[in-house]
Structure 1
Amino acid sequence: MADEDFTSGDAGASLTIPQQCSALRKNGFVMLKGRPCKIVEMSTSKTGKHGHAKVHLTGLDIFTQKKYEDICPSTHNMDVPSVTRKDYQVIDITDGFLSLLDEGGEVREDLKLPEGDIGKEIEKRVSNGESFVVSVLSAMNEEHVIGTKTINA
């Protein structure tokens, strides 16, 4: 009993929860090919010779916008990722990393400046001295800035 290690402090919360395929809905989230996706299209086929209705899912990766598809019997379970969205006020950009302030006054500097249009928009707004917040989406131990919003005073 003395060789047990309880120092990690992990609550044991799962990154996904199982949900029956027939209970999934459009605009919901699902794991497709190991990636967290938003369901953009789904259709159900009739029960076939082997007795299962099949659900055809099409989803976009919530971080990369890459399209994924999968077919699953409606009675089987699929993993649904635990997706959270949080807003942070942008303080500054240092060496390609964002300095962000949350509602509790805590500063975090571990999020990279995103590439592409969102990254350019953030850089432009910081250099103009604007006050704005970014929305950070997190799922499956990944976090990405997905958008910006102006703070209404």
Structure 2
Amino acid sequence: MITLSETSLDVQQAIQTATRLKAGAVNVFVGTVRDNAKGKAVLRLEYEAYEPMAIAEIKKIVEAAAAKWPLQGWAISHRVGVLQPGEAAVVVAVSTPHRADSFAACEYIIDTLKETVPIWKKEVLEDGEEWISAHP
């Protein structure tokens, strides 16, 4: 499952989608909106995406992860639009037979997603706004 959504992400749905009976581990990463950045209050985040390319890139990331680790199931959801502090911005769930592979695959997917997928984030702070690079 790959979704880009303008509404709240369903973490439990991602977990259920990734879960498989032959997997002994389900690892989940939930990225949330902080209420501060650089010592200033965050009022909101605004995410934009080029959806066809973003979905294609996420598929490539999952394929690469599946070539490195024995993925049994997976689900990736990312918000677009305006998010408030406390809201989930991204969910990555993966299942594998053993926990070490599950942790490694989940970390690889979120790190690579932030580096390569065309999803852009604008931080709106108490004193202005700024487009943020995932890896400055």
**TM-score relative to the length of structure 1:** 0.23
Larger Rg: 1
Q: Which has the higher helix share?
A: 2
Q: Which has the higher strand share?
A: 1
**TM-score relative to the length of structure 2:** 0.25
Structure number with greater CO (CA < 8 Å, separation at least 6) is 2
